[in-house]
Structure 1
Amino acid sequence: MTKITHILFDCDNTLVLSEELAFEACADLANIILASQGITDKYTGPQLMGEFIGQNFRGMMNGLQKKYNFQLGDQTFNKYVTQEEDMVIAKLEAKAQPCVNCMPVLQEVHDSGKYGMAVVSSSAHRRVLASVTKVDQLKYFPADVIFSAATSLPKPTSKPDPAVYIHAMKAVGKQPSECVAVEDSKSGTGAAVNAGILTIGYVGPYEKEGREKQDEMAKLLTEVGAKVIMYDWKEFWECLEKIEQMPASRL
C-alpha cells in the first residue's frame, strides 16, 4: 500500500479557472512582442492555450522565440514577464472563479487532518496568490505553501521541468512516495511524473468542449504518466483511494 501524507495541487484550471483569462492577457502582449519583431502573425487566447497550455509566460515566450527565430535580451524579456504578470493578475482579480466542485473537496481534505496541502505551479507566485485569494482558497494555501516554477527557484523554469516539484517536496519535507499531485495538463503531469510523484490527471476544465475532448485529454495524460483520471472534483476521494491502494512497487 502507498502511504500518502501530502497532496500537491496545480493551480491554473485545477484549483482556479484561470487559464482562459491568463491567455487572453498573454495573447494581447504576445502580439505586441511579435509586432515589435516585424512578425505579422497574431494569436488569440485560445490559440495560445492550444499551443502552450500548462506553461508559464517564460516557457511560452521561449517557444515563440524559437518558432519565429528571434531573441529578446534578458532585460527586455524580464520587462515583458513583469508586464504579463500585471495584466494577468488584473484579469484574475476581476473575474477568477474556483474550479467546479473543488471547494467542498478542499474543505474536506483540510478538515480531515490527514494530508498536508500545497500548490505547485508554473505561474508566478504573486499570480497564484492573487488567484487563490480571489476564490477564497488562501485559507487552504497560505503563501508559504505556494511554490512557483517562475519565481520560487534560483533559476526560473516551466513545467514539464520537474524542478518546482522537487523544490516543493524539499520545502515541505516529503519524499515522492509520500505525495500525490493533481494536474490538468500534459506539461504539468509530465513535471510531477518526472519528479517521481503519482499523479491524478484532472480533465474537468475540458468539459465545455465535450466528453470527446475530455476523453482525448484523459488518454494524453495517461500516456504522460497519470495513474488515475478525474473527470470531476466529486471523484477526488475515489481517485485518491485508488492511488493509496497501489503497491509501493508502482511508484
Structure 2
Amino acid sequence: MSKYKCVIFDCDGVLVDSEPISIQILVDMANGYGANIDLAYGMKHFKGSFFDACKTKIAQLSNKSIPDSFQEDYRQQSFEAFKKNMQAVKGVKHVLDNLNVPFCVASSGPEDKIKLNLGLAGLLPYFETKIFSCYAISKWKPDPAVFLWAAETMGFKPSECLVIEDSLSGVKAAKNGGFDVFGFTAHDYNEELKTEATKTFDSMDALLGMI
C-alpha cells in the first residue's frame, strides 16, 4: 500500500506537453526585442519560472524596456499555438486512469490557461473541480503556498501528499512545504532535479510503480 493519500500534479510539462510550445513563443518574442536566444536557452532559463522573472531576463538580454502589453501578447500567441499543437504527456492518461488515491493539479499558470491546456489534451474531466493556480493567491513557486492550499483543500497534510514536478522551482516549492516530490526528468535539460527531488523518473510508464 502506498504511503501517499493524495497526488498533486504540476500542469505544464507533467500533464500536458506545453513547455516547448510556450517557451518557443517567448523566445521568438524576446528575439523581436533583440535578445538573440534559442529554444535551448529558453528551456534552461525560462522553464518553470514566474512570468515577470522571464520578462525581466528578456529586458536584460535585449537591453530594452519591455512594454506592459508583453504578457498579454504572449498569452494570446501561446494560446493560439496551444490550440494547434497541445497534447497530453505520453502515458499520463494511463496514470490518471489507474491512480487509486485522490489527485489534483497545482500550477504557476493562470486558471484559464490550465483549463485550456487540459481541455485541449483531453484531461480536463480528470481535474474539473481540482485546479489550483498560483494566480489565485498571488504566490509563486518556489513558495510552497499553492501546494499547501491544494493539500488543505483536498483534505490532507503535506506529509500525506506526493507532488509531481518537472521544474527546479516546483521541486523546491514542494520541499519548502514539507512534501515528498518526484521529479519528471524527460525535459530536465540542466539535470537539476536528481539532487533535489525525493525520486526522479523519465517516463510516465514508471510512475505508478513508484507510487
What is the TM-score when the length of structure 2 is the normalising length?
0.88
CA offsets, 1:143-199, max 9 Å, x none?
A: x322222x221x2x4322222222222332322011100011211111111111100
Structure 2's unaligned 5+ residue stretches are none
Inter-CA distance 94–234: structure 2 relative to 1 (3 Å threshold) = same
User: What secondary structure does 1:20 align onto?
Assistant: helix
Which structure 1 residue ranges, 4+ long, deviate > 4 Å from structure 2?
A: 65-72
Change (3 A) 1:18 1:192: same
Q: Quick check: which has more Rg, 1 or 2? A: 1
Alpha-carbon separation, structure 2, partners of 1:194 and 1:67:
30
Q: SS state of the match for residue 140, structure 1?
A: helix
- What is the alpha-carbon distance in structure 2 between the residues aligned to residue 233 and residue 168 of structure 1? 22
Gaps of 5+ in 1: 207-212, 241-251
* Shift of residue 96, structure 1, vs aligned partner: 0.9
The equivalent position to 1:122 in structure 2, one of 108, 116, 119, is 108
Cα–Cα, structure 1 residues 63 and 163, in superposed 2: closer, same or farther, change >3 Å? farther
Match of 1:174 in 2: 156
Residue 8 (structure 2) pairs with residue 11 (structure 1): no
Does structure 2 retain, via aligned residues, the 8 Å contact 1:182–1:202? Answer: yes
Q: Distance in 1 between matches of 2:58 and 2:141?
A: 16
Is the 8 Å Cα contact of residues 168 and 193 (structure 2) preserved in structure 1?
A: yes
2:133 corresponds to which of 144, 148, 151: 148
Residue 120 of structure 1 aligns to a residue whose secondary structure is strand
Name the structure 1 match of 2:208: 237
Which residue pairs with 2:119 in the alignment?
A: 133
8 Å Cα contact 2:23/2:46 also seen in 1: no
Output the CA distance in 2 between the equivalents of 1:67 and 1:41.
Answer: 5
Q: Over aligned residues, Cα RMSD in angstroms?
A: 2.3
Change (3 A) 1:68 1:196: farther
Q: How far apart, in 2, do the equivalents of 1:92 and 1:231 lie?
A: 23
Please say if residues 3 and 177 of structure 1, whose CA atoms lie closer than 8 Å, have aligned partners that are also in contact.
Answer: no
Q: Separation in 2 of the partners of 1:82 and 1:195?
A: 31
Measured after TM superposition, the shift of residue 67 of structure 1 is 6.2
Map Cα deviations across residues 82-137 of structure 1 (whole Å, 9 max, x no partner): 2222211111111011111111111111xx3xx22111111222111111101110
Q: Summarize the Cα distance change of 1:85–1:140 in structure 2 as closer, same or farther, 3 Å threshold.
A: same
